[in-house]
Structure 1
Amino acid sequence: MFQPAAKEKGIRLEVVRSPHLPQIIFGDRLKLRQVLINLLSNAIKFTVAGKITLSAADAATDTTDSPKAQLFTFSVTDTGAGISEVDQSRLFEAFGQTESGLAAHQGTGLGLAISTEYAQIMGGQLDVKSTVGKGSTFSLSLIAAPVKASIEAADAQLLNRKITGIAPNQPPYRILVVDDVSLNRKLLCQLLTNVGFDVQEANDGEAAIAQWQDWRPHLIWMDMRMPKVSGVEATQRIKALDVGQRTLILALSASAFEENKETAIASGCDDFVRKPIQASEIFEKMAQHLGVRYLYEDTDEALSLLDDEPITPEMFTRTTAAWRYALTQAVLDLDDEAILQMAALPETEEAIATALQKCVQNIAYKKLLQLLQEAEAVSSSTSSPLCNCSKRCRNAS
């Protein structure tokens, strides 16, 4: 992917792999791939001569298929101009601009800001070490467990099968969905109802407690951030009243910070899922905690985002940088109303508007984020020079 651009600039691109590195690890392939794409894209953008090295390493183990989680580090090292300590503090801001960036008429766009958020979502950390005049190293560190190829193949085959219902001879599972945003509730309720769960909803923590007392659901999907009575407080009160500990509570949060997960678990939540939600993860968590068994569609074809007209990252490059940034924030916040409002804007192409509507309908936020990130990478590599300010020129978007 990057060899042509590196060759054009006369830069040597190397890949260094630790001999202990397992063939497969369990993790979010799309987010990891996008972070590395962003780091390599920036390295090529800001390196005039020399080389760029992508390295992958782990803590040495006796066997590559050990089931124990371990630390993995993915680094991108360049021989570019380097970054001063003052500029390093601004690196991870959206459309951040550094002295070296101004000299090269380039900005970091959204790449590093979202790479940092992706790293945190994966439970990892993105760091930079740089010396002016010598170059920079960006490192993504995360904890993951190696898995055998056969396990991944089986999981991939399962995840590509569409769930059509609940297998027979199981109890009628009662599920309570709690979220102060109406559209968020409706989407999750519809997803669960379509499969066959018995679903009710509550718009705040106080209502959730009352409905729990009256209905005694098997499982509650609890949004953590709500006005009045928060999800944390509601969970604590329900768990205190639930003497038999029969109700499972799974937290939902748009926050990318690990401490929010720790707070949710400490309040009594049985598990934690980050927004934007994915249908596969929702069903997987419910199977894990409830033991529910599903019926699957007899096909290996994955559900496409669009049934009629395919959407590509290039379509998003025709939008402005400000539009892409606003949409990215709306998706990360799982703000469906904001996504639909952007779809209705006069400047939004009809094909993109249709795609946004279907993303909300199918809860395909992960796919939408992937398209936006790929569009940002394309736009960054082909954009016009920037003016000497911290924002993109109009003709660069």
Structure 2
Amino acid sequence: MFYGCKTSGVTFDLHALLREIENMFRDRTDSKGLRFKVLGINELPSYLVGDITKLRKVIINLLGNAVKFTDRGYIELRVIIKNEQQDRMRLLIEVQDTGIGIADEEMDKLYTYFEQTESGRLNKSGVGLGLAISQNYVNLMGGEITATSCIGKGSLFSFEIDIKQGNAGELTSKPHSRLVVGLKQEQRIPRVLVVENKKENRDLLTKLLQTVGFDVRDVGNGMEAVEIFKQWKPDFIWMDIRMSVMDGLEATRIIKATETGRKTKVVALTAHALNEEKEMILAAGCDDFVRKPYREDDIFEVMEKELGLKYVYLEDQKKEELAVTVSKLTFEQLKILPDEILVELYKATLSLDTYRVAVLIDQIVRIDASIGLTMKIFCETLDYSRLLFFLEEIKSRKEENHEQS
């Protein structure tokens, strides 16, 4: 059962999507010595109307399984358009590998929650929730995943979905947001000052920036911001506008009146941003503003623009290199994770309540950004098996610490 999970149709760039996915898997296949090809791109229309989010996740899941179970040979992603009428087409996706294969008698377990094939047990790859979820996504898009396989020779997974042709003028969605996980090494680490009246908001933004690698300090009002600015000389300031003691506009005027301040980027955080307030924000010297509530994308995009930053994204790294391991978590990290949230997240994952899972992980990000982002990585790649295992390990470590204390 999927709660809050709907299929939606937007115009998207199919060629860009396939290139993004190809780049995402290229390092992983190269590191295993596998030949990896994406076939059929040149024969496809550039723009389609469909559910890009679900389509992307399903293709990533199928390719992820192919890489996981293939140690030699090749992996191919083939994309074909059938029934080429603008208002009624079928998009055929095929993922073929030369991996370990699946026995005939185990094929019926592929899309069953918590069932595991012998191949999965040998590979120690978990319960395979990702494939079950992918089947649900494809069903919602008007298709069904089918598979053929031969032990020792490989597997072929394919699906067809309803699709329509679009055009560039109808593009309504931004390119798929990529999860920022770090700063590229060839650049200086910027100093960032977070000025935010509410402590919970201040802590959330500070932890988000620290996790990516910024050098961050935070204060709760404009007067403190001016003092820290004089001593620390940050490169970038996130400035809340409405604060006690001294508001953000006055603090910005004081900072921007100095020689150092004129070189410092100040971006306002505001819940209002009406035309009059926009003018006041810019007149005070702010370089830009972001409306509350903001998304992670908003934060990183503005900082990229103002500071000329280069980020490391999730698809640039192997998941194993990014995920924090439970064995490395400190006692304090484990102690502050509320048991009730962890239990609720475990139950939501088991019931495949994807909306609730996302909400709970956002809560964990506010408590500990490194743990929360690890969980986000598992969800981004539909690796719910790893998420469950991760939660079980956290529970075990917390119980061990409780017994020792």
Query: Structure 1 or 2: larger helix share?
Result: 2
TM-score (structure 2 length as normaliser): 0.45
Larger Rg: 2
TM-score (structure 1 length as normaliser): 0.46
